[in-house]
Amino acid sequence: MLPSRASVVVAGGGPAGYMAAIAAAEAGATDLWILEATSEPLHKVRISGGGRCNVTHACWDPRDLVGHYPRGGQALRGPFGRFAPGDAVAWFDAHGLQLVEEADGRLFPRSNRSSSVVDTLRAAAVTAGVRCLEGQALQAAEPLPGGGFRLLLRGGASLQADRLVLATGSHPSGLRIASALGHGLVPPVPSLFTLALGSHPLTALAGVVVDPVVLELEGPAEAMARPAGVSPLPAAAVGAAPRRRQRHRQRGPLLITHWGFSGPAILRLTAFAARDLRAWGYRASLRIDWTGGSLSPADLEERFASARRELARRQLGAARPWPSLGRRLWSHLLEARGIDPGLRWADLGRGDQRRLQEALRQDIYAIRGRGPFGEEFVTAGGVPLGEVNLATMESRRRPGLFLVGELLDVDGVTGGFNFQHCWSSGWLAGQQLAAAVLT
């Protein structure tokens, strides 16, 4: 039953909202309510990490951790200094959920099931006395003259709250409420997606992983020629067009797919380039160094010289210049450069050697759009961090209002970093809520 008055109302039953409410209750606050618009709180936790939930990442030092947040970055050193991945691991352990580290640093529940994380959070909320009302969407929040808020819910009900936590993720309703309460908004754009090539012969290699590659992404020439501020997309949606030629670089594993490119290096690239890619209309030029940056032009020339000596009588298609270079990729590069795979190494002329070396170090692809999202999908943009006290997550514009999770202009790369921000921001808000309620 909806109360007519509450000490703390958390709008949004996602990971950030749950953590804020549980942490506040465990620190001594009472009369806490979560209002969740849908009938399934923690839905994204349940579907996360391919059904396994990548809860956080074994990146223990906040100085390193912040490097994984394209939006947020250095500003998050303070919050992560108070609640880091190690604290999240200990918190879940204390609530009966053990996390297990994988070789790449990602941490998952020992059960390998996201439902364990959902169950842990729900049980912790019940034990701490937090009440969650499902199917209750916050529609508006009016500040009251003496402090606190009158909350209007979808369907006409209302209640009064001394303090309000907005934890509505990237849902437009939460952004609208934050804006009505005096906050600015960085326009939301998608982050963490794959890249599409259109119909291209490389896609025949779908399933091939090359690890590592070096990627360099640049906008199309026409985006640069456009006058500043003029964009093919609504200016309000994308902000001003970039004024200078931007280049984004990443190194790591690349997966070739039937639509183009995916894999950790691509997801990291699109996360850091999310705003530029949007401004470029998702058209760009991607340069790939298939050697992973390990070979200089002189090294590559030396590899070819030794291949021509040692493999002189072998055909190009049957003998790669070094064994770890993928067979299918090598065949594709030969074909794409129009070089006969039946040619013997001894007969490979200077011009063809140069073209192949260029294909190996500077292979250029025209990106035609966004591919499907990876396993994880987040929105860049939201309430600017400068408008929030990052020690407490309380609004600098509206006392008594707290903002946590993806609603803020923070997003991380794939690997558990997005949930970590939810745990950190939620926990900090919880401490301050308890302190405020108890004083």
Length of the chain: 439
Nearest approach, Cβ of residue 259 and ligand FAD (Å):
18
CB 16 within 8 A of CB 425: yes
Q: Which is nearer to ligand FAD, 45 or 202 (CB)?
A: 45
Nearest approach, Cβ of residue 1 and ligand FAD (Å):
17
Q: Which is nearer to ligand FAD, 16 or 284 (CB)?
A: 16
Q: Which is nearer to ligand FAD, 17 or 219 (CB)?
A: 17
Residue 7's region, left for phi above 0, alpha for psi from -120 to 50, else beta, is: alpha
N- to C-terminal Cα distance for the chain? Answer: 28
Q: Which is nearer to ligand FAD, 19 or 360 (CB)?
A: 19
By the criterion CB under 6 A, which residues form the site for ligand FAD?
11-17, 35-38, 41, 43-44, 47-49, 53-54, 137-138, 167-169, 171, 173-174, 375-378, 405-407, 416-419, 422
d(CA 49, CA 115): 11
Nearest approach, Cβ of residue 162 and ligand FAD (Å):
18
d(CA 333, CA 202): 9
Q: Which is nearer to ligand FAD, 128 or 167 (CB)?
A: 167
d(CA 385, CA 399): 16
Nearest approach, Cβ of residue 147 and ligand FAD (Å):
22
What Å distances lie between residue 412 and 128, 378, 405, 409, 416, CA to CA? 29, 8, 11, 10, 8
d(CA 68, CA 390): 18
Nearest approach, Cβ of residue 272 and ligand FAD (Å):
17
d(CA 77, CA 94): 24
Q: Please state at what angle helix 114-128 crosses helix 15-26, rounded to 10 degrees.
A: 30
d(CA 134, CA 39): 5
Nearest approach, Cβ of residue 399 and ligand FAD (Å):
21
d(CA 288, CA 427): 41
Q: What is the dihedral of CA 98, 100, 106, 107, to 10 degrees?
A: 0
One-letter amino acid for residue 315 of the chain: Q
Nearest approach, Cβ of residue 195 and ligand FAD (Å):
18
Edge-to-edge strands, sheet with 209-218:
363-367, 284-289, 209-218, 247-256, 260-262, 186-196, 369-382
- For 314, the token pair is 């072998």
Phi, psi torsion values for 186, nearest 5 degrees: -85, 125
Strand spans (E) along 257-326: 260-262, 284-289
Nearest approach, Cβ of residue 18 and ligand FAD (Å):
8
Q: Which is nearer to ligand FAD, 98 or 362 (CB)?
A: 98
Nearest residue by C-beta to ligand FAD? 14
Q: Which is nearer to ligand FAD, 252 or 377 (CB)?
A: 377
Q: Which is nearer to ligand FAD, 130 or 407 (CB)?
A: 407
d(CA 42, CA 122): 9
Q: Which is nearer to ligand FAD, 20 or 238 (CB)?
A: 20
Q: Which is nearer to ligand FAD, 71 or 320 (CB)?
A: 71
Nearest approach, Cβ of residue 93 and ligand FAD (Å):
18
Nearest approach, Cβ of residue 299 and ligand FAD (Å):
38
